[in-house]
Structure 1
């Protein structure tokens, strides 16, 4: 005759007192209460593993937090899984992992992991721009959204108002950055595939506009404007420095004294500050060195050659030259980045070797194989070209307004 187990009552469980050793109270069908010496009471389901066919215990919860009625219900659910060949403990573990992944792998958290790697391959200013765009346009709506539930329609709906404002370039960049993040999530096994591939087709394409720059014949006008402009000495020197060195706005504005070797007449910009993450060496002409001599009394005791007016411990903003050019009347005609185009056009018209011009601009060869093997920066061969360029700038100045020599610059300020 089969042994019958008397079902437990709530009163009986409450009345159970701790003993020197733990003991069990049985409710039947494998459901038990383990009473521990410290007085705690734990629900257990003793069952046969559906695969291993061994007896094992499954902890259901603590009494009285898990009541008798609810413990019986949880035990029934577990037995239903066992009947289907599913181990309830493994099922619970999987559910907890999925729940954890849902809260842990949000777009914000995944973006942080992606950005930690991304920022090593770009300049600090570009990194700041990327993260700021996500904070401004994406995170307010999707920060806490698990990446596995993000869909193309969800993102398109978010970006459509930005497109409606006419900010097509912003939409393009956000779509590109979100695609990179979701590719990262895919490669990390957080999603099975990137759902945002091809979302750019849902938006208008921004019209490609050429960088505003001057023609070589207009260089005298620019030099004359710089000499007569009502701008600060640091700004004046920064414009000239960028023009003579042919560097990008952020590279010029962020110049540090420690990067400059006056004895060797070379300015070495470290990879961390370069767009292509390669060290860039620039031969310094006499005119460029004259600009440094003017800056020495102002910033020689500080980190940056061109310190910020508001905070001398920081460098000038990379938009300083742009703002100055606007005030000088060049809005729509010239932007700071266009100074590089002006130099490039002039040097190419003068038949300087294309490789030397490209090296001076710190451009990486589009031919990946050639770029991999051709690591030379043609430093020595670039010296005559840079000397010619600085001399050309100086000759473009008119009379006493020559601002590319130290004495004339000081007189004009």
Structure 2
């Protein structure tokens, strides 16, 4: 019959001293207190490895920092792991490694990894700039040093408090949307088990969506007349006409490259990576749009971009160029560059064109994937007819004398 070890007492432990060599005091079930000649005392746990059966000793910690009661609890925890076939020493190392990695994987670090993936998806330079600004201005200053394992809904809500007080609900919406993307990435990359803020948007008031300021088609003649008599650079006036005639978004128009234009086929092909919906967009070019291209050829025909920047011709004009021009012409709060698309949409809908054809021309994408594919494959010729109509509509609105490109073709006068 094995001898049962007598449990240690606090008095024994406090008075224990090693005289000629290190001393081992046994508490039972593998718990040992090593008393060294130097006077230090260390708790250790002796056990057999689950798979190999090899004897192993694990250090628990020093006495009195770890009391007798604490040491016994460590022993019981280790025995519980052994009962499940888990080596307590390996488990401890794994826990420490995970704790270190969790501390090292801050929001700033994970956001950088996420952004690298986004950049590899060929996002536009402007989109990357917007993401960086969102990170560096609204997210990282308050949460960048926080491990992603500690990002909680409450922490995010507190970080957004200043924006909330300022009533910047749209900024909060966009910041939280980016943060959700980062945390989704963190979950998929194994940094966290699940995204704790996947539904955090419900904690904030939703911004009131407003349409981009625009004008009715009846206001188009006045707009074109103001463009013609304004002191804007010819290139800026041509960019306004180009965006209006092609019904494109401000960035798509400003970034136009000569390599995208096929004058013979009378089309402009925008690659998927430049489109908001990440799908190639083919735009039939009416004669008026081709006149703009012809006018720009003398200005930038040897450049990459049709509308090169004034400051750095190696880059395109800013997508805000048209907005600034409209403000200088007195349209502040009344019309923005994106609103030029709305003028075209309203006019074409009122003229009775097929709404699906108009949506295809605007590069809008619905939720029906089959219908989207149909629109893309069958509406090109119908859009060609519609874009020719729209070009003539714009020319008529200009009264044949105020189009910036008019001098090259001698636009006919049409009574208003």
- Contact 1:393–1:404, Cα closer than 8 Å, also in 2: no
Shift of 1:314: 0.8
- 3-state DSSP class of the match of 2:336? coil
The answer to whether the aligner puts 1:398 opposite 2:395 as a matched pair is: no
Shift of 1:54: 1.8
Shift of 1:55: 1.9
- Which residue is equivalent to 1:52? 51
Shift of 1:203: 2.9
Shift of 1:103: 2.9
- Contact 1:352–1:385, Cα closer than 8 Å, also in 2: yes
- Contact 1:293–1:406, Cα closer than 8 Å, also in 2: no
Change (3 A) 1:382 1:293: same
Unaligned runs of 5+ in 1: 3-7, 13-25, 33-44, 61-65
Change (3 A) 1:85 1:358: closer
- Contact 2:238–2:404, Cα closer than 8 Å, also in 1: no
The TM-score normalised by the length of structure 1 is 0.79
Shift of 1:77: 9.9
Q: Aligned equivalents of 2:276 and 2:303: distance in 1?
A: 25
Q: Aligned equivalents of 1:384 and 1:85: distance in 2?
A: 76
- Which residue is equivalent to 1:315? 316
Shift of 1:214: 1.0
Q: Deviations over 1:73-107 (max 9, x none)?
A: 9x999867644445343123212321232134321
Spell out the pairing of 1:10-409 with structure 2 (5 A cutoff).
47-52=46-51, 54-56=53-55, 82-86=78-82, 87-118=87-118, 120=121, 123-372=124-373, 374-376=375-377, 378-398=379-399, 400-407=401-408
- Which residue is equivalent to 2:10? none
Q: Aligned equivalents of 1:309 and 1:113: distance in 2?
A: 35
Shift of 1:406: 4.3
C-alpha root-mean-square deviation of aligned residues, in Å?
A: 3.6
Q: Aligned equivalents of 1:402 and 1:184: distance in 2?
A: 49
- Which residue is equivalent to 2:40? none
- 3-state DSSP class of the match of 1:398? coil
Shift of 1:279: 0.4
Q: Deviations over 1:173-211 (max 9, x none)?
A: 112222232233334443344332443333333222121
- Contact 1:402–1:408, Cα closer than 8 Å, also in 2: no
Shift of 1:128: 2.7
- 3-state DSSP class of the match of 1:267? strand
- 3-state DSSP class of the match of 1:400? coil
- Contact 1:239–1:321, Cα closer than 8 Å, also in 2: yes
- Contact 1:242–1:339, Cα closer than 8 Å, also in 2: yes
- 3-state DSSP class of the match of 1:281? strand
Q: Aligned equivalents of 1:303 and 1:372: distance in 2?
A: 31
Q: Deviations over 1:310-329 (max 9, x none)?
A: 11111111111101100011
Unaligned runs of 5+ in 2: 4-16, 26-31, 35-43, 412-416
- Contact 1:364–1:371, Cα closer than 8 Å, also in 2: yes
Q: Aligned equivalents of 2:196 and 2:289: distance in 1?
A: 51
- Contact 1:122–1:274, Cα closer than 8 Å, also in 2: no
Shift of 1:123: 4.5
- 3-state DSSP class of the match of 1:282? strand
The TM-score normalised by the length of structure 2 is 0.79
Q: Deviations over 1:131-156 (max 9, x none)?
A: 31121111011112111111111111
- Contact 2:48–2:56, Cα closer than 8 Å, also in 1: no
- 3-state DSSP class of the match of 1:277? coil
Q: Aligned equivalents of 1:239 and 1:327: distance in 2?
A: 13
